[in-house]
Copies of this chain bind each other. A is one copy, B any other.
Amino acid sequence: MDLWFSERHTPNVKFSIRVDRQLYCGQSEFQRIDVFESKEFGRFLTLDGYMMLTEKDEFIYHEMITHVPMAVHPTVRKVLVIGAGDGGVIRELTRYPSIDHIDLVEIDPLVLEVCRKYLPQTSCRLDDERVHIRFEDGLKYIRTRENEYDLIIVDSTDPFGPGEGLFTKEFYGNCFKALRDDGIMVNQHESPFYEEDAAAMQRAHKRIVDSFPISRVYQAHIPTYPSGHWLFGFASKQYHPVHDLQAVTWNLLGLSTRYYTTRLHTGAFALPAYVEELLRDVE
């Protein structure tokens, strides 16, 4: 079967995956949702035609957005996750016995339903009793919260479409307010490589820097995202992502990981010169 899914990473760059078959295709109030089966990447989820995750490399994204803050903050108990209807972040968070409450705020119920059915690899822990699912717009939900969370993970789509509001100054300011005095916010931060992604990354960084006293960016290799060079933002009221890393404590938890290590944690904050410059330009 010669069936290919393609995504334009820019108008002039295309990444294509050979597909065995389409498992699901649907349209929600917010977006088009597709799930495909492929030989190279296993199953993969797209929203409005944009790659969200593949079974082969989702561990990289989910480990890096979860374990980096968890290895810095010594006592995370209450977590807010925005977006993330696929459940990958929840799967990683529920591995920590110290966490006793997770609010998952996802705007689109159909994403969750589709992932429960077709992507058990990521959605497998959505029924954990500590997880409280709310189908709401994260932008609105966060407005009313105050001094409540130890950690907020913003697992948004791109800064256009349904995820747009999750890249605004108002949203980051409200996240700051919703966090406790030693809270941390982590978000997916786009890529530095292609021009348009880099501009989105700079805009987001500027707004976070304006809202949080500590704001650092870290990177990972995510082969199915544009350029494969992906960034995350670490914003914090008190803890420094590298100086306050609790490496011994985290390793004593005995969590087995495939990408994250506490050594890589520190390395991930060492950015290429051109990325440092892009960030400095807006700080």
Contact = CB atoms under 8 A, between A and B. Distances in A.
Which 6 residue pairs are nearest across A and B when measured between Cβ atoms? A228-B228, A267-B270, A267-B267, A221-B229, A12-B18, A12-B40
A271 interface: yes
Nearest to A194: B40
Interface of A: 4, 6, 10-18, 38-40, 57, 60, 193-194, 219, 221, 223, 227-229, 257-261, 263-264, 266-274, 276
Contact of A40 (B10, B57, B258): B10
A6 B264 CA distance: 33
Contacts of A271: 264
A273 to B, nearest CB: 5
A143 to B, nearest CB: 37
14 contacts: A12-B38, A12-B39, A13-B15, A14-B16, A14-B18, A15-B15, A16-B16, A57-B193, A221-B227, A259-B272, A259-B273, A260-B272, A261-B273, A266-B270
Given A10-B40, A15-B15, A228-B229, A272 B276 contact: no
The DSSP consensus for interface residues of chain A is mixed
Given A259-B273, A268-B270, A227 B219 contact: no
A148 to B, nearest CB: 33
Contact of A270 (B6, B16, B18, B261): B261
Contacts of A272: 60, 221, 258-261, 264
Given A221-B221, A221-B228, A227-B228, 15 more contacts: A4-B14, A13-B15, A13-B16, A13-B18, A14-B17, A15-B16, A16-B16, A193-B221, A221-B227, A258-B272, A259-B272, A260-B272, A261-B273, A263-B270, A268-B270
A146 to B, nearest CB: 37
Contacts of A258: 272-274
Nearest to A257: B273
Contacts of A194: 40
Nearest to A220: B272
Nearest to A64: B272
A154 B155 CA distance: 41
A270 B267 CA distance: 6
Nearest to A259: B272
Contacts of A269: 267
Contacts of A14: 4, 14-18
